[in-house]
Structures are given as structure tokens and as C-alpha cells.
Amino acid sequence: MKHGANIYKYAKEIDCSSDEIIDFSSNINSYHPKIDITLTNNMLVKYADTNYTNLKKIISKKNKIKKTQMALYNGATSAIFELLRNLDSSRVYLYAPLYGEYEKAVNKNTKIIKINRFENLYKKVKKGSTVVFVNPSTPDGKFYNLERLFGMWKKQDCKVLIDESFLEFQNKQSLINQIYEYDKIWIIKSFTKFYSCPGIRIGAIFSNKKNIKALKTPLWNLSSFDVKFLSSRLQDLDFKKRSKKLHKIHKKQLLKTLKKSKLFDEIYESDSNFILTKSKRAKEIFEHLLSKKILVRTCGSFDFLNDDFLRFAVKDSYSHNKLTKALKSYNIKYL
């Protein structure tokens, strides 16, 4: 499975700059205020604190865990590969569809079993396996109450990996507190999604102290600028408050646009910052939108989905107005 839509590829295809394309394929927080951080000479010529003491202190306070219960990485993808490389498991269950890098990260000699969470969510897993679950899920954005599943995983003595990269867009319950209750759980988190910084790659793994120590995380995973930026944004209470307020407004706008177009056979309820749709005309819609310099995410590469599915990320009002006009012009041209 491929990851995401390639904005640079499509910009070349329609002969324009990538900056001219409105990227609805990118599920990043649409609120990104200008930062007031200067890249200083010290950031370039001095080694960063290898323990990231101040940043870990901020993260630990925010998540109510200890600094020894986390490892920081150059993006969530790096965290995923590091974690799956270190876990000794002969069998991995992937609750699909999910982020494609999980399958790539699994060791070659490990058996992969994909569970269709749309149709067979409570399929029994074998004892001693590793299970991977993204919550809220992708590309549909559904948040799952994992109480029943988590009980089954514990009973089967499974190693449990929960990816909560999209959790902060809406007020949903994290399982991070379970690191105190169950010694075989790891929580993966991307800071690039909600905190609107895909150009700064920061991800984390949360687990008990013993599990974190076993990862043997390399030194200097993050640059001094990465640390400075995220420390500043995590402490910016106005950013979080305004993000959630705008997200609520903008998500309603997007949903209204998609429904009003009457182009989709199904629009899936989402607990995150993107909305999955289904239409027999999906390929035509994708091509038409691209001609209008709007890029959306095709979902045919996701397990258990096909080319009828398109995913739209929540953007700002300007982008939603452009999308509304583009979908209206499709109706005029093709229907």
C-alpha cells in the first residue's frame, strides 16, 4: 500500500507549482499560525541535549506520565519501524485498513494477518501475537471504544501497539494510562498532525520504563530547531484552543459541501480531521478536481477498500469554498 497522494507528482502532471494546489489529501491541522522562533547559530554549531530534557518534561506533564516512559523519534514513521524491528514476534495482526508503513515495518520472517475491522473486528487472535490498531482509524477517521478488544488482547498475552496520532482533533479517550496497568502496550503518536508541522518530523513511543529502555533509541533523533518548535507549540494553550474551535467549524463546512454536492453514495462519520466518501464516480471526481488544482486522497491502495473511495481532509474556509465550486462545476459538466 502506498502512503498518501504525491502533491509534487501531480503538480508536474498538470504543469503547475505544488504551491498552487489545494491539498485535501494531507490530513494536517489547517490552523498553522506563524511561528516566532529564530534559527540561531547555537542551534547549528552546538549539539542538542541528547535526553531532550525540557521537551520530555513538557510532554510528560501533558500526558501525565514520566519522562522515562517515552522515546522521541524523527517522525512517527521512524518510531513505527524502530518499534516493530525491536519486538520479537512471529505473528502480527494488523487491523486494516490502516497506515501502510506498518506492513512495511514488520520483519520479513514475521507472519502478517490482516483483520478487516469493518466486518470482523472481534476476530480472535492467537496467544502471544502482536496486534496493531490505529485509533482514530485511517482513512475513515472512526474512533473505537477498545475496552472489549483490549480485554481480549490481554487475555491472549498480546503485545499491543496503539497509534493515536489523530486523537487530539476531538475529545476522545487515550489508552496511555494503560502503560501503568499492562506491561505489553506501546502507544505511538505523531506530533505533526495536530500541531501542524509535517516539515518538522517528531513522533513518540509511550510505554513502561523497561520497554522504552529496550528500544535503545539512537542519539540526536531530533534537531535543536525541532525541539524548540515543539516545546513552544505544546505550551501554546491558545493554539490548542483555537485549533479545536476552528476544526469544529471547518469540519461542518466540509461535511456540508460534500453532502450538498450529492455526488457521493456514502459519506462516513468521522472522529478526526478527514472524511471518507464513496462514489461510483470517484475516479472522474478525482480527475476533475485535479484539473481545478485540488488534490484529494484516492483510497484504492488501502486494504479492504477500492477506487470508489476518496478521502477529504478538513481544510480552511477558503479551501472549502474552492472545493464547493469545483464540485458544482463537475455537476454542470458531467450530470
We report the CATH number of the domain holding residue 283 as: 3.90.1150.10
Both 166 and 279 in one domain: the answer is no
Structural domain contains residue 129: yes
Look at residue 220 in the predicted model and tell me its pLDDT: 83
pLDDT of residue 22: 96
**Residues 207 and 279 reside in one and the same domain:** no
Report how many domains make up the chain.
2
- From CA 330, how far away is CA 96, in angstroms rounded? 32
DSSP letter at 20 equals G
Residues 216 and 281 in one domain: no
Residue 1 above 50 pLDDT? no
Give a yes or no: residue 25 inside a domain. Answer: yes
Residues 154 and 180 in one domain: yes
**Co-location of 98 and 18 in the same domain:** no
Cell of 299: 483510497
In a domain, 123, yes or no: yes
Do 167 and 269 sit in the same domain of this protein? no
Residue 4 has pLDDT above 80, yes or no: no
Contact 7, 22 (CB under 8 A): no
Greater confidence (121 vs 108) lies with 121
- The reply to whether 201 and 145 lie within a common domain is yes
Query: Residue 265 has what pLDDT?
Result: 97
104 in a structural domain = yes
Cell reading at 65: 506520565
CA angle centred on 171, ends 302 and 322, rounded to 5°: 60
Whether the Cβ atoms of residue 18 and residue 313 lie closer than 8 Å to each other: no
Q: CA-CA distance, 37 to 92, in Å (whole number)? A: 42
pLDDT band at 3 (very low <50, low <70, confident <90, very high): very low
Residue 25, pLDDT score: 95
Query: Whole-number mean pLDDT of the chain?
Result: 93
Q: Is pLDDT of 2 > 60?
A: no
CA dihedral 203, 79, 129, 108 (to 10 degrees): 150
Among 215, 236, 257, where does a domain finish?
236
Residue at 269: amino acid letter: E
CA distance 332 to 335: 6
Q: Are residues 224 and 203 in the same domain?
A: yes
Cα 57 from chain centroid?
23
Query: Distance between CA 1 and CA 205 in Å, rounded?
Result: 23
Q: Three-state SS for 133?
A: strand
For residues 213 and 67, give the distance between their C-alpha atoms in angstroms, rounded to a whole number: 12
Q: Which of 201, 219, 236 is the last residue of a domain?
A: 236
Q: Pick the last residue of a domain from 212, 236, 260.
A: 236
333 pLDDT above the threshold of 80: no
Q: Would 2 be classed as within a structural domain?
A: no
Average pLDDT over residues 271-283: 97
Among candidate residues 104, 92, 172, 83, the one with its CA nearest the CA of residue 133: 92
Considering the domain boundaries, does residue 195 fall inside one?
A: yes
Cis peptide upstream of residue 139 (ω within 30 degrees of 0): yes
List, for residues 35-91, the tens digit of each pLDDT value.
888 778 888 888 778 899 999 999 999 999 999 999 999 999 999 999 998 888 899
Per residue in 112-146, pLDDT tens?
999 999 999 999 999 999 999 999 999 999 999 99
Residue 1 lies in a domain: no
Cα separation, 187 vs 161, in Å, equals 6
pLDDT score of 199? 85
Q: Are residues 268 and 124 in the same domain?
A: no
pTM of the model: 0.94
Q: What pLDDT is attached to residue 50? A: 86
Cis peptide before 136 (omega within 30 of 0): yes
Amino acid at 205: I
Q: What is the predicted pLDDT for the residue at 5?
A: 59
Integer angstrom CA distances of residue 193 from 150, 248, 265: 25, 16, 28
* CA nearest neighbour of 27 among 306, 322, 271: 271
Q: Same domain, yes or no, for 161 and 302?
A: no
* CB burial of residue 32 (10 Å; 0-12, 13-18, 19+): middle
Based on the fold, state whether residues 188 and 115 are members of the same structural domain.
yes
Cell numbers 508503513: residue? 101
Tell me the residue range of the domain where 151 lies.
41-236
Per-residue pLDDT tens over the stretch 151-190: 999 999 999 999 999 999 998 999 999 999 999 999 999 9
Q: What is the pLDDT of residue 43?
A: 80
From 29-43, 125-139, 266-280, 293-307, the region with the lowest mean pLDDT? 29-43
Q: Which residue has the cell 501497539?
A: 161
* CATH number for 165: 3.40.640.10
- List Cβ neighbours of 117 (8 Å cut-off, separation of 6 or more): 95, 96, 97, 137, 144
Task: Give the model's pLDDT for residue 230.
Answer: 93
pLDDT on residue 36: 80
Distance CA 112, CA 91 (A): 6
- Residues 192, 63 share a domain: yes
Question: Looking at residues 280-309, what average pLDDT do you find?
Answer: 96
